[in-house]
Structure 1
């Protein structure tokens, strides 16, 4: 689901930035909205760092591989420490801690604070998430050299470098909206997984019928299988809506 997660994250990033601009009265420009789309799209792949074979985990070789192992270990530790006797048995790794809105908000708050206080932190957030975005969105393209180039891990990170320079030094504003775009991108990943057959622990750490790690999802009739028409419809609707929302905001 990487391309679909990235597409929903791109729309979430633009929406978060446009909403923050409207709420606080600062003029979000093209660079802000473009960066927000990249941050949201890349952030929407971050929850799957808890799976060793995900797009995010395999993006930058041993670096993201190490991040994946750390994420799995942290998730398993939190699961063991907070589970109740009613929680289902599991290893607590994939689709546990990293797939909770609480974790997304914590990561977004940290990224927003760091990006506000230190320009290199902003550049690092934009670069890393933009590279993940290119990998995820590249897989939505028809098969061919462009898709292979964008979806290749090292190539995506190399291409994201000059793009980050153009965006950050071209006028991206620092502020908590960076963290909001990142957090919302992760949250829409969780919501997307909640529409599939497996569901995710959206309510953690609140107990649901005695279970802190209750797997919450859409009603059974609304869930879909990964790769079916519903997923493709959501993906392309978001890919069309993201630039339309950005253009509408700039036109105001």
Structure 2
């Protein structure tokens, strides 16, 4: 999916949180965090919005580190069926196995959220910052899970003998107008939830 759709989906996850707390100034900070977190899983792809456009000269090394971490995690936890599926992807689809790997897991979203929440508490800010990062991060993971490539949503748990099992909910083509249909449906759902909670 494209960066603007991911940013929108990350931002809108905070509408229900703002509706519940009623704290607009804090809510603006949470929206900014969730927007960045909605782009963060694509750190493993140096051509995407966050590493290429928003991080400037730091984009390439940060992207390299994300891919390296994915590669280490993949090699350390892969099963035999995982290895044969990566060979197929590389040979037949030109997909690098370290994109949509570690950064596109629920585990990564949880770790990023917990880390952010702890840092926020240490700095005297709301622990909702951790929730904002988790929700924004998961918005990208779940939306990328709507594409035909899918995401390793449940890593490190095994699914069908594979830890890196690619979950795909809808099989949409990434980069097409379907990106916006998913983004607008997501936005509508979170907006409706905010109205109900308000």
User: TM-score of the superposition, structure 1-length normalised?
Assistant: 0.66
The residue number in structure 1 matching 2:91 is none
Q: Give me the whole-angstrom Cα distance separating, in 1, the residues matched to 2:129 and 2:24.
A: 14
Structure-2 separation of matches of 1:47 and 1:37: 17
Distance in 1 of aligned mates of 2:104 and 2:149: 12
2:51·2:59 contact (CA, 8 Å) conserved in 1? yes
Q: Match for residue 110 of structure 2?
A: 105
The alignment partner of 1:86 has SS state of helix
* 1:185 corresponds to 2:180: no
Label 1:39 to 1:4 Cα distance change in 2 as closer, same or farther (>3 A): same
Residues 175/70 of structure 1: CA separation in 2 closer, same or farther (3 Å cut): same
Matching residue of 2:23 = 29
Larger Rg: 1
Which residue in 1 is equivalent to 2:172?
Answer: 224
Per the alignment, residue 11 of structure 2 pairs with 10
Contact 2:42/2:103 (<8 A) preserved: yes
1:149-168 equivalence runs, <5 A: none
**Corresponding position: 1:234 with 2:182:** yes
| Unaligned runs of at least 5 residues, structure 2 | 88-95
Q: Distance in 2 between the 1:175 and 1:100 partners?
A: 25
Partner Cα separation in structure 1 for residue 141 and residue 157 of structure 2: 16
**Matched residues in 1 for 2:160 and 2:59: separation?**
36
Quickly say closer, same or farther: Cα 1:245–1:212, change in 2 above 3 A: closer
* TM-score normalised per structure 2: 0.83
Aligned partners of 1:194 and 1:200 also within 8 Å: yes
* Structure 1 segments unaligned to the other structure (5+ residues): 22-26, 120-173
Root-mean-square deviation (Å): 2.3
